[in-house]
Amino acid sequence: MVHRLQERFSPGYGFTAIIIAWLARLHPLAIVLVAYLFGGLLVGAAEIQPAGIAQMLQGVILFVVVGGDMLLRYTIRIEQE
């Protein structure tokens, strides 16, 4: 027992799970598919030079999906008098 927090104790899988659940819209089969694709992204990130590129891609994907949802949900309406 070390009695202190280890460096790689929590690699941020919880945040990745939130992104996966959001992208899959909480559909169980879609969660499996999206999790598999994100797992491939994380494994592939270990082989490319800038190690943080996978997290950057996850963030870009999340912003695109959330932005698309907001554009679909909140439409601009111009009312003529």
pLDDT digits (tens, 9 = 90+) for 41-64: 888 877 877 777 878 888 898 899
Q: What is the pTM of this model?
A: 0.67
pLDDT-derived band at 80, boundaries 50, 70, 90: confident
Q: What is the pLDDT of residue 34?
A: 92
22's CB contacts (< 8 A; 6+ apart) are: 62, 65, 66
Kindly indicate the confidence band of residue 8, based on its pLDDT and cuts at 50, 70 and 90. low
Q: What is the pLDDT of residue 43?
A: 83
Residue 25 token pair: 């819209």
Q: Which residues, other chains included, contact 54 with Cβ-Cβ below 8 Å and sequence gap of 6+?
A: 41, 42, 44, 45
